[in-house]
Amino acid sequence: MSETIKGLKITNRLLSEEAEKRGWKVEIFDSTHYSCQAVLRAEKDGKEFVYSSTLTPLTSACGYLIAGDKWLTYDLLKSADISTPETIMIPGDSNDFSEAEAFLKKHNCVIVKPTCTNHGDGITMNITDKNQLTKAIAFARESALKESDSAAILVQEQVEGKEYRFLVVDGKCIAVANRRPAFVVGDGKKTVKELINEKNQNPLRGEEHDKPLTKINLDEVAKTNGEDFLNFIPKLDEEINVLKTSNLSRGGEAVNCTDLAAPELKSLAEKAAARCQLGIAGVDIITTDIRGGGKNYIIEVNSGPGIRMHVYPSVGKPINVAKHIINALERNAHPINHQPKTVIGRSEYIESPFFGEGVKVPARTDTGARVASIWASGISMSKDGKLHFHLFDKQSEFYTGKKHETDEYRIAVVRNSTGQEEMRFRVKIPITIAGKSINASFTLSDRSINSYPILIGRNIINNKFTVDVTQNKCELTSKSKSKFIAKKNNNELSSDPYKFYEKHAHKIVGVKDKR
């Protein structure tokens, strides 16, 4: 990890570490509006992408706006028949709480929250009487005005079930975690205050978002539960929640539930993220059964979800969600300064130091092929793990007899022209195509019966070239043309031999004149 990213908040740091592992150069730019945030720019091979935590180009400006307004979020979700708890809004300039009081009477237990805050700020749960409701509204408005000019707040039915965070990246749910509020476990001797101080000594706990876990704030515990609560002595092995919200930023902890979560719940999270126009989203779902078949409610959709709960769960296997996010950002990275792409045709000549000086080899462009392929022969591996191969073979005019070796290779499973799956070695070869030099990935294959010795696939075309199918920039050699014609004739021959004979007998050497 470079020195430049060591001091970043944890989500930015995890994403930047993953980007640097892949060879991206990461630069940091500080924000004057959000002092705790930084905007990062990653650059590699003439492409770039920017991010700030999980706010990335995958999320539209409208998506950010929607997620920042909980009332708007609920409205959009309801319009798509996505289940949310029943909710009413009290405008910021209203002191008439009669509707809220009637709502409390209807549901018996409600939650009050601002429309615009994050990390559980301003939320009060388990409200069961008018006095609690009035205090909760005042608390929510105070928190809201710290974030926005609007003091509008929501009153929401408190639904039954457990809360889970579903992380959706580029349309797919990749991780699920159950967050529990900050808690302590009694030993029958220490006070709650002493147990919290002991827990805060864990080196994994830091301030706010610096480390995998956050220290529990004693002042906030006292404010939530009263000063006397800090002096309470829990019984041996007694677990006590010291705060009511489950946010990790308030000392909460996470349990990995990805494998437990039912497909229907993951699909629900994906649908909600798409409805809110978010390429990366943290969807909070309360459900009575994580395995499916229960009652499910979406209570929040976040546009910049933290990822530490998935990377550093207190219980369960960690998931490297940074890998999935950087994968998505790489797919969507754009050329620096949006330079126009080079135009190539249905066929192109390719040059490479592997072919020899001045040698141009014809290649066919195929936008349907995922990975490029090149004719290779004599493929073998030595005991030291190095891969050896010749490009082309002795029947090709481009064969030089030179043996190439590399220790950088992978195995790819590719479907060939007949629809069968083949295992092929995949290697990097420097090429120049249409005047543009790139280090391209090719599978090594037997193309002896193909008309072109090289196939250009989407892995070369994407983000680098535009294909103009009206252009055909190279002619096949006579040998290649002959092979192509022979292959076509043999296909026809195998289909109906006598029909082929009747049609072509006069062209075939040595056939007796039928007349």
Angle at 15 between CA 13 and CA 20, to 5 degrees: 90
Task: Answer whether 187's CB lies under 8 Å from 225's CB.
Answer: no
Helices (H), 177-279: 192-200, 218-225, 263-275
Angle at 144 between CA 143 and CA 150, to 5 degrees: 155
pLDDT for the residue numbered 515: 43
Residue 272 to residue 277: CA distance in whole angstroms: 9
The three-state secondary structure class of 49 is: strand
B/e letters for 143-158, b = 16+ CB within 10 Å, e = fewer, are: bbeeebebbbbbbbbe
Angle at 11 between CA 7 and CA 15, to 5 degrees: 90
Helices (H), 422-477: 458-461
Identify the residue whose tokens are 């539960």.
225
Report strand pairing: 124-127 vs 110-114: antiparallel
- Strands of 267-341 (E only): list them: 280-287, 296-302, 334-335
Domains by residue range for the chain, with CATH: 3-56 (no CATH), 182-250 (no CATH), 342-476 (2.40.70.10), 478-515 (no CATH)
Residue 16 to residue 28: CA distance in whole angstroms: 10
Residue 242 to residue 252: CA distance in whole angstroms: 10
- Dihedral sign, Cα of residue 317, residue 321, residue 322, residue 323: positive
pLDDT for the residue numbered 403: 94
Taking CB atoms within 8 Å and a gap of at least 24, the contacts of 403-407 are: 403/378, 404/354
Task: Answer whether 166's CB lies under 8 Å from 267's CB.
Answer: no
What single DSSP character describes residue 3? G
Identify the residue whose tokens are 């909760």.
136
pLDDT for the residue numbered 477: 54
Helices (H), 201-307: 218-225, 263-275
Residue 144 to residue 121: CA distance in whole angstroms: 8
Q: Which residues contact 220 (CB under 8 A, 6 or more apart)?
A: 243, 250
Residue by residue, pLDDT tens for the chain (515 residues) are: 566 677 788 899 999 999 999 999 999 987 665 545 679 999 998 899 999 999 999 998 899 999 989 999 999 999 999 999 999 999 888 888 999 999 999 999 999 998 886 666 788 889 999 999 999 998 888 887 776 667 889 999 999 999 999 999 999 999 999 988 888 888 888 898 888 888 888 887 877 666 777 788 888 888 888 888 888 888 888 888 888 776 777 777 889 999 999 999 999 999 999 999 999 999 999 999 999 999 999 999 999 998 988 998 888 999 999 999 999 999 988 888 766 678 898 999 999 999 999 999 999 999 888 889 999 999 999 999 899 999 999 989 999 999 999 999 999 888 766 667 889 999 999 999 998 899 999 999 999 888 899 999 998 988 788 888 778 878 665 455 455 555 566 777 677 777 877 777 776 655 555 44
Residue 195 to residue 238: CA distance in whole angstroms: 12
Residue 145 to residue 155: CA distance in whole angstroms: 17
Identify the residue whose tokens are 């979406």.
298
Q: Exposed, middle or buried, 420 (CB in 10 Å: 0-12/13-18/19+)?
A: exposed
Residue 254 to residue 247: CA distance in whole angstroms: 9
